A and B are shown apart, each in its own frame.
Chain A
Amino acid sequence: MRHGKYPFVIGFLFAPVALYVTFVIWPYAQAFQISMTNWRGLSAPQWVGFDNYRRLLDDGAFWKAVQHHGVLLLALPLITIAIALFFAFLLNVGGKSSGGQRQGVWGAKFYRVVFFFPQVLAVAIIAVLFQMVYRPNESGLINGVLMKFGLEPVLFLVKPNLALWSIIAVLVWQAVGFYVVLFSAGMASIPGEIYEAAEMDGATKVTLFFRVTLPLLWDTLQVAWVYLGIAAFDAFAIVAVLSVDGGGPDGATTVLAMEIYRNAFVYSKYGYASAMGVALFFLTLTFAALTLRLTKRESVEY
C-alpha cells in the first residue's frame, strides 16, 4: 500500500462533493424548508408546516397544470418519436440500396441539416417565432394564407381546447430534429447484412422497419423517451412567451413551472411557490423511476 494515498483520494473527492452540496443539495433543502413557510420574499419567513401543501390540494390552477403535464407526457414523446423515427428511417434506410449498402432517400444529407435547425435556436426565439406563425389575424403566417382564401382564421392560442395542442406542436417541431440525429446514429450501427438478409427473404420496407429497425433501436428509444419525458415536465419558456396571458386562456396551457413563476414573482408567495416546486420535484422523480421500470427489457444482441 502506497503512502499518502487516502489523503490524496479524499482531497480529490472533497472539492466536487462540497460544490455539489453547496450548489445543488443545499438550495434543494432550502426549497423544502421555504415550502413550509409563508415567506413573501422580503422579511424573515414564518413556519406554517404543511399549510402550503394543504392549499395545493384545492388549487385549481395547480391541478390543471398537473393534468397538462399528463397530456404532455403522453403526447410529446409519442408524437416526437414517431415522427423522428419515420424521418430517420427515410434518411438512412428508406432509399434504394446500392452495392449492398442501404441508403437514404434522395437529398438525405440536406434534410438532415434542415431537420436539425430548430435545435439550434433558443427556446425563447422559437416562441416569438411561433407568435408570428400563430397570430390570429391576417398578419399571422398561417392565418394570413387562410384568410387570402377567404377562410375563417384559426384561433390557435385562443381557443381553450386548441391552445395546448398548438403549444405541443411547437415543442414537437423543436425536438424532432435532435431525435432524427439520435436515431440516425442508432440506425447507422445496425449492420447492413441484416437488412440484406431480410430483403432477400422478401421483406417489404414496412416489415424491415418493424421487424429489424425498431427492435434493434430499443435502447436509443428508451433514452429518447426519458429525455422527452423530462422536457414534458418543463415547457416553461414556450408557455411563458407564447401562450396568451401566461398559461391562458384561463389556464388552458399552464404548466407547473408557470404556476411556480406566477406565485413567486407575481404574487410574491415564495413559500407557496416552493411547495409547488417540491411537488414538481417528486413528480419528476416518480416519472423517472416508473420509466426505468416499465421500459426494462433485454436488449437484442447482434
Chain B
Amino acid sequence: MSITPEHPAALDRRTVLRRAAAVGMLATPAIGLLGACATSGSDGDNEQVAGGTKSEKNPLGVKEDAAIEVVIFNGGYGEKYATDVHEPLYKTAFPKAEVKHQATQAVSTVLQPRFASGNPPEFVNNSGEKLMDFGALVADGQLQDLTELWDAPSVDDPAKKVRDTVVPGTIEAGSFNGKPFVLYYVSTVFGIWYSGKLFKDNGWAPAKSWDEFITLLTNIKAKGITPYGYAGANAAYYQWNVILTQAAKIGGTDVLKNIDNLEDGAWKQDAVKQAAAAWAEVGAKFSDKSFEGLKHTDVQLRQNQYKVALYPSGDWLEGEQKKDTPAGFDYQLMPVPGLTASDKLPATALRATAGEGYFVSAKSKNPKGGLEYMRQMLSKAGAKGFTEVVKAPTVVTAGSEGFAFPPGVASSQAALKAAGQDVFNLYFDGWYKELDTEARTATNELMFGRINADAFVERIQKRADAIKKDSSVTKFKR
C-alpha cells in the first residue's frame, strides 16, 4: 500500500478528494492509458511491405529480405522449439530476412497495446492464461485469412497442398464462421489420466462403462487414496470438459454442436443434465473438498505422489509434470467412460483436437512472411523438430513418424487410433470467453456440492442466452 503518513491537520477536503480520485485511478489506469491511444491510433501507421516474386521455393511470394517478428508464449512448451527449430528453418529458406524473437508469459499484456496502436507483430503464439480473445481479434479483422497457406504447396512435396499434410479437423478447429484464421499446431487428446504403475500394483483396470467406473472409484477409495480430483482454483475447465465429453457420448456429437452454436436450450439437453448429475455424485463421494482451493499444479503433484488416482486433463500433462513425476509412474490415458448402455457413441470415443493456437496479424508489416513461417512450421522438419523438443505430436501427419513417445503420449495416441471416426471437439470456450468463465464457476459449484445438475444447466443456459442476445459479441457457427 502506498499510503504515506501525513500530519492530520494537512488532511483538508482537497486532499481527501484527490486521494479518492487516486483510488479511482488505481482501478482505471490501464483503461485510461489504453484509451489514450485507442481512439487515435487504431487505423495504424503501418505500411505493409510489397510482395516478392513467387517461385517454387517461395509459393506465397514473400519479400525475401523483409523482417518478421515472432512472439512465442513461454509456457508448457517453452520457447526453445521456436529458437532452435522453426526460426532457423525460416532463416535457411530466406537468409536475407531478419527474424526477431520475443517470448512472453502474458501475451495480451504485451500485445494488446500494439494491436490497439496498429503495430502488431507478424506471428503470434496466442496461448496461456493471458491469451488474447480470438473471437474479438477475428471480429476486428486483425487476423490474416489462412486460406492461402492451406492451399499453398507444402515444403516437402510441391505436389501436395499444405492442407493435405495435416490431420483432419485441424483447419476446422481454427476456423471462424468457416474461414480459417488460426493454426492449431499441437495434436491434443483429452481424457482421464492415471499411473500405470499404481494400477498395475493394485490390479486395477481402466473403466469403460459407468458401473465399472464407480466400482473402480470405490476400490481406490478403499485403499485410502483419493479416487478422483481436479483443481478448482484455476482449472475447473478440465472438469467441464469431462462432463461435456460424456454428454456427447450419451447424446451424440450434436449435443456439443448445439452448445457451440448457442442454440436455445442447448445446455438443458438431457445428455448434459445426465452427465452433470453423474459427475456431481463423483464429486460428492470420491473427491476431496479441499481441491477447490488448489491450483492445477498442486493436484497434479498429489497425483504424482500417488495421493490422487484419476485426474482429467489433456495430453500436455505428461510433459508439464516431467520434473515432478517419479520414475516408473507411467502416465496412462483412459477415455471418459460412457454413462448408459444406450449411449450414442462407443466407449472408445474421445475429444481430440489441435491445440496451441498461432496466428498471423493481418495488419502487420509483413503478413506474407508470417504465412511462410507457418508453412515452414508445417514442414516435416518443422514438425519433427517440435516433437523432438517438446515431446508432443503435431498436427502434421508425417511429423512424428518413427518417434518414440513417452508412455503417456503413446497411450493417448493409441486411444486416438482406437477411437477411429468417433473423435469430436468443442469450441464455445474459445469463441465466448464469458461462457467459459460461467461454465467453470458452475462446474465448481456442481462438483463441490453447492448446486445440483438442474441448477448447473439452468445457470449456464442463462449466460448463454445473454450472450446470444448481446449484439456487441460476434457470433460464430459451425
Interface residues of A (CB under 8 A from B): 24, 26-28, 30-31, 33-34, 38-45, 48, 119, 123, 134-137, 153, 155-158, 160, 174-175, 178, 181-182, 185-186, 219-220, 222-223, 226-227, 230-231, 233-234, 236, 244-245, 248-251, 256-257, 260, 262, 264-271, 273-274, 277, 280-281, 284-285, 287-288, 291-292
Contacts and interface: CB of A to CB of B under 8 A. Distances in A.
Contact of A244 (B16, B32, B112, B293): B293
A234 B36 contact: no
A155 B290 contact: yes
9 contacts: A27-B36, A41-B116, A158-B289, A231-B1, A249-B450, A266-B133, A266-B437, A287-B20, A288-B16
Contacts, number: 207
4 nearest interchain CB pairs?
A27-B32, A136-B290, A30-B35, A288-B20
B232 A158 contact: yes
A249 B141 CA distance: 36
A230 B290 CA distance: 33
Interface string B109-146: 10010011000000000000010110011011110000
A17 to B, nearest CB: 14
Contact of B6 (A26, A223, A236, A265): A223
Contacts of A181: 5
Interface of B: 1, 3, 5-6, 8-9, 11, 13, 16-17, 19-36, 38-39, 42-43, 108-109, 112, 115-116, 130, 132-133, 136-137, 139-142, 232-234, 236, 288-290, 292-294, 433-434, 437, 440-441, 444-445, 448, 450, 472
Contacts of A137: 288, 290, 294
Contacts of B39: 30, 33, 44-45
Contact of A43 (B3, B25, B141, B292): B141
Contacts of A284: 20-21, 23-24
B450 A281 contact: no
Contacts of A288: 16-17, 19-20
B1 A186 contact: no
A219 B132 CA distance: 48
Contacts of B112: 41, 265
A268 B133 contact: yes
A234 B27 contact: yes
Nearest to B471: A38
B35 A226 contact: no
A158 B290 contact: yes
A260 B292 contact: no
A280 B32 contact: no
Contacts of B294: 135-137
Nearest to B132: A268
Contacts of A270: 31, 34-35, 38
A40 B139 contact: yes
A42 B136 contact: yes
Given A30-B39, A158-B293, A260-B28, A174 B1 contact: yes
A182 B440 CA distance: 44
Contacts of A257: 26-27
B32 A38 contact: no
Given A31-B35, A222-B8, 8 more contacts: A31-B31, A223-B11, A226-B19, A262-B437, A268-B132, A268-B136, A273-B31, A284-B23
Given A158-B232, A257-B27, A24 B21 contact: yes
Nearest to A282: B24
A277 B133 contact: no
A27 B35 contact: yes
Nearest to A269: B472
Given A34-B31, A227-B3, A256-B27, A291 B16 contact: yes
A75 B82 CA distance: 51
A226 B14 CA distance: 13
A302 B16 CA distance: 26
A117 to B, nearest CB: 14
Given A158-B290, A288-B19, A245 B236 contact: yes
B104 to A, nearest CB: 14
Given A41-B115, A265-B108, A281 B28 contact: yes
A174 B112 CA distance: 33
Most buried by B among A26, A186, A222, A248: A248
A155 B293 contact: yes
B27 A277 contact: yes
A93 B134 CA distance: 62
B1 A155 contact: no
Contacts of A248: 441, 444
A40 B346 CA distance: 42
A20 to B, nearest CB: 10
Nearest to A135: B293
Contact of B34 (A26, A41, A223, A292): A41
Contacts of A219: 8-9
Nearest to B30: A264
Contacts of A268: 132-133, 136, 433
A30 B444 contact: no
Contact of B42 (A43, A175, A267): A43
B458 to A, nearest CB: 14
Nearest to B434: A267
B11 A226 contact: yes
A281 B11 contact: no
B81 to A, nearest CB: 27
A227 B440 CA distance: 36
Nearest to A288: B20
Contacts of B24: 28, 277, 280-281, 284-285
A227 to B, nearest CB: 6
